[in-house]
Amino acid sequence: MKNILARARFALPLAALALALPAAAQAAQGFTDGRVALRAGPDNDYPRVTTRNRNDPAPNNPRKD
């Protein structure tokens, strides 16, 4: 009986931590701090896709596959 209680003392906090980790991994909503041009590539030579103004929300996952 003592062995079961000793295992439960360690298993229960570990199980609670394992359940809490996915919630902690969620990203917070971001905002732009100035006017931002989103381009089709990593250089200014690529065409502009859209522009975001100051304090516009920045989506964490803009792709909707």
pLDDT of residue 48: 94
Q: What is the pLDDT of residues 7-62, one digit of tens each?
A: 777 777 877 777 776 665 566 778 888 898 889 999 999 999 989 999 888 776 65
Any idea where the domains of the chain sit in the sequence? 2-58
Contact between 57 and 37 under an 8 Å Cβ cutoff? The reply is: no
More confident residue, 3 or 35: 35
pLDDT digits (tens, 9 = 90+) for 29-41: 788 888 988 899 9
Q: Cβ atoms within 10 A of the Cβ of 45, count?
A: 8
Distances (CA, A) of 18 to 5, 6, 8, 58: 20, 19, 15, 29
